[in-house]
Amino acid sequence: MRLEIGEILIRDIQFGDRTKVSGGTLYINKSELVAKLIDDEHIKSISVELAKPGESTRITPVKDVIEPRVKVDGPGNIFPGVLGKVTTAGSGRTHVLKGCAVVSCGKIVGFQEGIIDMSGPGADYTPFSKLFNIVLVIEPAAGLDQYGYEKAARMAGLKAAVWLGEAGRNVQPDNIISYETKSVLEQAAEYPDLPKIGYVYMLQTQGLLHDTYVYGVDAKKIVPSLLYPTEVMDGAILSGNCVSACDKNTTYHHQNNPVITSLYEAHGKEINFMGVIITNENVFLADKERSSNWTAKLAKFLGLDGVIISQEGFGNPDTDLIMNCKKIEKEGVKTVILTDEYAGRDGASQSLADSDPLADAVVTAGNANELIVLPKMDRVIGMLDYTDKIAGGFSGSLRPDGSIEAEIQVITGATNELGFNRLSATMY
Amino acid sequence: MSKIRVVHYLNQFFAGIGGEEKADHKPELRIGIVGPGMALKKEFGEEAEIVSTIICGDSYFNENLKEASAQILKMIREQKPDIFMAGPAFNAGRYGAACGTICKMVKEELGIPVLSAMYEENPGVDMFRKDLFIIKTADSAAGMRTAAPAMAKLALKLAKKEEIGPPEAEGYHVRGIRKNVFRDKLGSKRAVEMLVKKLKGDEFVTEYPMPQFDNVTPSPAVKDMSRAKLALVTSGGIVPKGNPDRIESSSASKYGKYDISGLAALTSETSETAHGGYDPVYANKDPNRVLPVDALRDMEKSGRIGSLHNYYYSTVGNGTSVANSRAYALEFAHELKNDGVTAVILTST
């Protein structure tokens, strides 16, 4: 399966009469966008605001971040099975509005929405401070429960991204990158001397607002399965969850999964990248056992020499991470695990809820408990009402002068476990 | 600018008083520099000055811990130091323990920076590495030449409140504290590089060495539940409505103790969850789902259990550090025991 990604570099965003990309600027007809999204009985109102890198702007509570993409050639569409037919995606050509994103935000769903600061110290911790953000502030209809609200907000974000992505359909991309993964036997034969590497992609599925969707299927209900890496780039996997902001994979993270791109970079040089094994993080022991048995089985079945395993969330999923690692290693397949840490505010506690000596190769995305002070911003998109309550905040987090003291856990994407960032932790 | 005031601590041997036979030497304050302090003075130059040296015999200190500590603390306080240094203790075990004990006490009581130096096998390293900076030294006094510059350099940095670098750069024993850093490469790239090295059999450095977990042996089963006094403890965050103690939704810094005497069951009017790691709707609708007061009251009535304790303990287990959890349990386990509780049901979420 071969996919061309055409990157259209977006260097500014503005409201305009017509939604289009011109000279690197994305113009957005605000009322048309709102009209497109408001056609949902679960949503009372939506306001659209723009946030640019370097501004004194704080966006909160952030639910999801989505990159506008459009399928210009090949079968399927973006977010197959959710916003269109379930046609298998991942081949042909996809255009990406690179440098911008849709951010959904609004009254809190659970405890676990985050903060994006467009400048200041907080901006260093979130990749989304570097993007031109089209922020949807969503007000749910009266009486809507939080499951309905989560879904309405999720769908609004996806629809906005797809609608904006259309603006890139007929634009000549600045860069074209192609990715290809062949059928298992062909792929193995292509680089017979290089180690065969897979990617075990753990999806957050603890349930009750901790859900991830694969081609529209709630991933709680899958058994581990195989995907071509390029399917992920077309939105085969998307976020519907509200785990802590720092280490949940937003839809943007899935669309731009850095493990996949880093493996492709080394593909044909140092490794032979064979494909993606998706698995879940269910809360029942039998599910954990079954899923980790299956990842190990599939890794062996594919004849892999090594895998990278990425986690999403923390605590309970630490057990899934360690089970995957242990069982795959026992099949003779080498592992590196990607995780983050909860070592306490002083960094002195143990970082994971589970461990095993076989997990001897760990890449960490940092200690989510570390404290940070975020200075007051001139403008707030969304609302500060929930600052003390969101995971990583505490009583008094929002100070009278408008600054915030909280754990970096509150920052969207700060300790992302796909290895999206440079942040890490080390032993002092 | 005035010089940084340093108070230095030595045992009887390094102060030149004598060996084991003088180990009962009582705490003594001498103005100015003694013994190894000379090497430090050279390194300090004009920036800092050892204003006084405190000497105590190793046996005296370890055998009269309380008294000796109080005496030494008083001496140090009167000297108004900006920083306190002890040792190097090299491989002398009792000396290392004394250096660590005094440094920790000074840090806590006087709030000034402290510093010691020891050989890696000195038991004082493991006892105090989390509490203070301990410079790495050789196993004998021959290592003073390398220890002194490292000690002086770190002491000046600490006194001037400068940022302290990682252990390998500053020369101190790893403290076991996780600190965030920005690395040069993305995590995903580091993972691919690490995997390639691991497959080739090349050396690689894990970014998080796996901790050794302490396993708790379960207590023997309760023989007669009909006589047991049962208590409920939860990490599921059930609290009285309004969360009076403001237990955090994640990374809880406290726990609560709440009265349920006379309650037949929890209700959505009286209780809720503070937990931010799961969807709270079902717990809030019926808090007994997390803290089963209703079921236990039934069992109490039917005589299947002796009684339900009047209080329950609750915290939020979401991202809460193991060290904090252990500290909470240490406190309330004693209370439970003193209250005659014979069995506890721990509920999690």
On whether residue B203 sits in a domain, the answer given is no
Q: How far apart are CA B119 and CA B122, in angstroms?
A: 5
Partners of residue A344 in chain B, C-beta under 8 Å? 251, 321-324
Q: Is residue B259 part of a domain?
A: yes
Confidence band (pLDDT; 50, 70, 90) for A243?
Answer: confident
Chain B: nearest CA to A218, how far in angstroms?
17
Pairing of strands A423-427, B178-182: antiparallel
Q: Which of A83, A337, A113 is nearest to A216 (CA)?
A: A83
Closest partner CB to B178 (pick from A261, A271, A367): A367
H-helix or E-strand containing A233? helix A229-233
Residue A55 falls within a domain, yes or no? yes
Q: Which of A266-280, A321-335, B312-326 has the lowest mean pLDDT?
A: B312-326
- Token readout for A61 is 């509570």
* Residue A367 scores a pLDDT above 70: yes
Long-range contacts of residues B103-110, Cβ cutoff 8 Å, at least 24 apart: B103/B128, B103/B131, B103/B132, B104/B128, B104/B131, B104/B132, B105/B69, B105/B73, B106/B73, B106/B76, B107/B131, B107/B132, B109/B73, B109/B77, B110/B73, B110/B76, B110/B77, B110/B84
Q: Tell me, what's the pLDDT at B44?
A: 95
B161 shares a domain with B298: no
Neighbours of A5 (CB within 10 A): 21
- Domain assignment present for A217: yes
Q: Answer whether residue A96 is part of any domain.
A: yes
Q: What band does A376 get if pLDDT is binned at 50, 70 and 90?
A: very high
**Strand ranges (DSSP E) for A141-195?**
175-180
Residues B77 and B12 in one domain: yes
Q: CA-CA distance, B172 to A144, in Å (whole number)? A: 57
A-chain CB neighbours of B253 within 8 Å are 394
pLDDT digits (tens, 9 = 90+) for B91-117: 999 999 999 999 999 999 999 999 999
Asked if the structure places residue B197 within a domain, the reply is no
Count the Cβ atoms, other than its own, within 10 Å of residue B292: 18
In a domain, A423, yes or no: no
Q: Are residues B144 and B288 in the same domain?
A: no
Active site residue A325: no
Q: Does the pLDDT of residue A119 top 90, yes or no? A: yes
Question: Any chain B CB within 8 A of the CB of A286?
Answer: no
Residue among A253, A259, A261, A313 nearest A66 (CA): A253
Q: Is the pLDDT of residue A110 over 80?
A: no
Question: Count of domains in chain B?
Answer: 2
> Which CATH number belongs to the domain containing residue B110 in this structure?
3.40.50.2300
How far is the C-alpha of B18 from the C-alpha of B13, rounded, in Å?
A: 5
Give pLDDT, residue B278.
81
B161 is a domain residue: yes
Within a domain: residue B133?
A: yes
Distance from CA of B187 to the nearest CA of A (A): 4
Alpha-carbon gap, residue B87 to A80, rounded angstroms: 68
Radius of gyration of chain B (CA): 27
Interface of A with B in 37-76 (CB under 8 A): none
Distance from CA of B276 to the nearest CA of A (A): 5
What pLDDT, on the 0 to 100 scale, is given for residue B188? 98
| Chain Cα centroid distance, residue A158 | 13
Q: For residue A404, give both structure tokens.
A: 């915030």
Distance of CA A363 to the CA centre of its chain: 18
For the stretch A3-26, pLDDT in tens is 999 999 999 999 999 999 999 999
Helix, strand, or coil (residue A411): strand
| B185 found inside a domain | no
User: Is A419 contained in some domain?
Assistant: no
A140 upstream amide cis, omega within 30 of 0: no
Of B130, B183, B195, the CB nearest to A336: B195
Predicted pLDDT at A401: 95
Q: Are residues B163 and B238 in the same domain?
A: no
The answer to whether position B205 is within a domain reads no
- With respect to residue A421, please indicate whether it lies within any of the assigned structural domains: no
Q: How confident is the model at residue A113 (pLDDT cuts 50, 70, 90)?
A: confident
Domain of A343, in residue numbers: 2-410
> Do the beta carbons of residue B256 and residue B323 sit within 8 Å?
no
Average pLDDT value over all residues in chain A: 96
Could you read off the pLDDT of A63-79 as tens digits, one per residue? Answer: 999 999 999 999 999 99
Q: What is the pLDDT of residues A327-348, one digit of tens each?
A: 999 999 999 999 999 999 989 8
- 8 Å CB contact between A371 and A409: no
At residue B1, does pLDDT exceed 70? no
Contacts 24+ apart (CB under 8 A), B331-335: B332/B233, B332/B255, B332/B257, B335/B257
Cβ A395–B185 below 8 Å, yes or no? no
Check if the beta carbon of residue A381 is closer than 8 Å to that of residue A135: yes
User: For residue A109, what pLDDT is reported?
Assistant: 64
Query: Within the 192-221 window of chain B, which residues sit less than 8 Å (CB to CB) from chain A?
Result: 192, 194-196, 198-199, 204, 206-213
Give a yes or no: residue B195 inside a domain. no
On the question of pLDDT at B9 being above 80, the answer is: yes
> Same structural domain for residues B33 and B162?
yes
Cβ A426 vs Cβ B178: under 8 Å: yes
Element holding A405 (H helix, E strand): strand A404-407
Q: Do residues A425 and A364 lie in contact, with contact meaning Cβ atoms separated by under 8 Å?
A: yes
Complex ipTM > 0.90: yes
- Note whether B114 and B18 are same-domain residues: yes
Task: List the one residue out of A55, A48, A47 whose CA is nearest residue A378.
Answer: A55
B279 and B158 within one domain: no
Instruction: Report in angstroms the alpha-carbon separations of B313 from A40, A394, B291, B310, B336.
Output: 44, 20, 10, 10, 10
Strand ranges for chain B from DSSP E: 4-11, 28-31, 48-56, 83-86, 114-119, 133-137, 178-182, 229-234, 238-240, 256-259, 271-273, 307-308, 311-314, 343-347
Closest CB from A335, A343, A391 relative to B318: A391
Residues A255, A131: Cα–Cα separation, whole Å: 15
- Among candidate residues A100, A105, A242, A246, the one labeled active-site is A242
For residues B20 and B137, membership in a common domain is answered with yes
Final residue in a domain of this structure, among B123, B154, B170: B170
A418 occurs within a structural domain: no
Identify whether residues B161 and B246 lie together within a single domain. Answer: no
Per-residue pLDDT, B170? 95
Q: Do B249 and A389 touch (CB under 8 A)?
A: yes
At A111, phi and psi to the nearest 5? -105, 0
CA distance to partner chain B, nearest, from residue A40 (Å): 24
* Separation CA B343–CA B245 (nearest Å): 26
Burial of A201 (0-12, 13-18, 19+ CB in 10 A): buried
Has residue A60 been placed in a domain?
yes
Closest CA to A335 of A365, A367, A310, A353: A310
- Search chain B and give the residue with CA nearest A389: B249
Q: With beta carbons less than 8 A apart as the criterion, state whether B117 and B89 touch.
A: yes
* CB spacing of B321 vs A344 below 8 angstroms: yes
Contact assignment for A347 to B253 by CB distance below 8 Å? no
How many Å apart are CA A1 and CA A413, to the nearest integer?
A: 30
From B80's Cα to the closest Cα of chain A, the distance in A is 28
What is the pLDDT at residue B56?
A: 97
| Residue B149 banded pLDDT, cuts 50, 70, 90 | very high
Beta carbons of A113 and A406 less than 8 angstroms apart: no
Query: What is the C-alpha to C-alpha distance for residues B208 and A362, in angstroms, rounded to an integer?
Result: 6
- Domain residue limits at B319: 225-347
* Of B50, B61, B110, B34, residue with least CA distance to B85: B50
With CB atoms and an 8 Å threshold, state whether B179 touches A261: no
Q: Does A364 touch chain B (CB under 8 A)?
A: yes
pLDDT tens column, A150-175: 999 999 999 999 999 999 999 999 99
Instruction: In whole angstroms, give the CA distance from residue A145 to residue A153.
Output: 12
* % pLDDT > 90, chain A: 90
Which residue, chain included where needed, has tokens 């796996």?
B210
To test the contact with chain B by mutation, choose from A273, A336, A372, A418 the residue with the greatest count of B C-beta atoms within 10 A, namely: A336
Strand partners, B11: B56
Q: Which backbone phi and psi does B303 adopt, to 5 degrees?
A: 85, 10
| Burial label, A128 (beta-carbon count in 10 A; 0-12, 13-18, 19+) | buried
